Amino acid sequence: MKSSERTFRRKVLNFYKTRGRHHLPWRKTRDPYHILVSEMMLQQTQVSRVIPKYTQFLERFPTAQTLSDAKLSEVLKLWSGLGYNRRARMLHEAVKLIQAEYKGSFPKSVQELEKLPGVGSYTARAILVFAYNEPVVMLETNIRSAFLHEFFKNTSGVLDAQVLSVIEACVDTKNSREWYAALMDYGSHVKKAYQNPGRRSKHHIKQSKFRGSLREVRGKILSLLVERSHTETLLTKETGCSSERVRDALLGLSGDGLVVKKGRNWTLAT
């Protein structure tokens, strides 16, 4: 390991010891199911919004088995407010697959984990790191920002392949769990303290605005359907959106397996 990489590791770990977010509930578990729930919830959602929902979700569904046995409509009702509701369906499908194919035991390889619905490259590796302390190489937005800030200060259009080579050199082979937790906290810090280093990544994508988007319409519809079924006309009235926008949102939600039409009424999928 180069001296610059050793210095970086000391800086990150010292930051974590003094300012790390040790209180986060998913930092206190080694249960792969709990880790999966947290990672699915944290995708494109702020930590402050996830914490109470994560706690409520695990109170209702404490094990993969209890979630697998639940109806999708129950899961969607509890997920309501987090947004990106397809994640709830994929999480539900993932635990069902674990029960059916793996007899309730979580897979312990990247290849097998990536076969689960909604589990991509990062999420698979996060489960291995935080549940099993495996020293795998992984990359997400805060980790990327940490390395861009320290190793690519005056460079734009940085490829993930370049970042991954440095990450691999810095991986803690004995305690990857703490190392990656520290990296994420440090990356979150530099994004706030400096102009977001992630913007210098070749792969940076600016998130589209939520207000006025079809995502907003979908969210409004699901919030209404959590309470009871509605006709398309009533959904148009109560959301305050145009009939065309409501129809487009319903088609998308139906295609994602989140809602179904029964007669004239739309309701949550079961």
Place of tokens 């795998």: 136
Place of tokens 């070749």: 202
Sequence-separated contacts (24+) of 38-42 with Cβ below 8 Å: 39/122, 39/123, 39/126, 39/127, 40/87, 40/88, 40/90, 40/91, 40/118, 40/123, 41/82, 41/87
Kindly list the distances between the CA atom of residue 196 and the CA atoms of 149, 153, 187, 218, in Å, as whole numbers in the listed order.
9, 11, 9, 29
Q: Which of these, 161, 122, 127, 124, lies nearest to 142 by C-alpha position? A: 122
Within 10 angstroms of residue 143's Cβ, the number of other Cβ atoms is 21
Place of tokens 């998130």: 207
Amino acid at the residue 175:
N
Give catalytic status of residue 134 as yes or no: no
Within 10 angstroms of residue 206's Cβ, the number of other Cβ atoms is 6
Cα radius of gyration (the chain):
20
Dist CA 130 CA 180 (whole Å): 9
> Is residue 28 within 8 Å of 193, Cβ to Cβ?
no
Catalytic residue among 5, 39, 227, 232: 39
Dist CA 58 CA 16 (whole Å): 26
Dist CA 154 CA 246 (whole Å): 46
Active site residues: 39
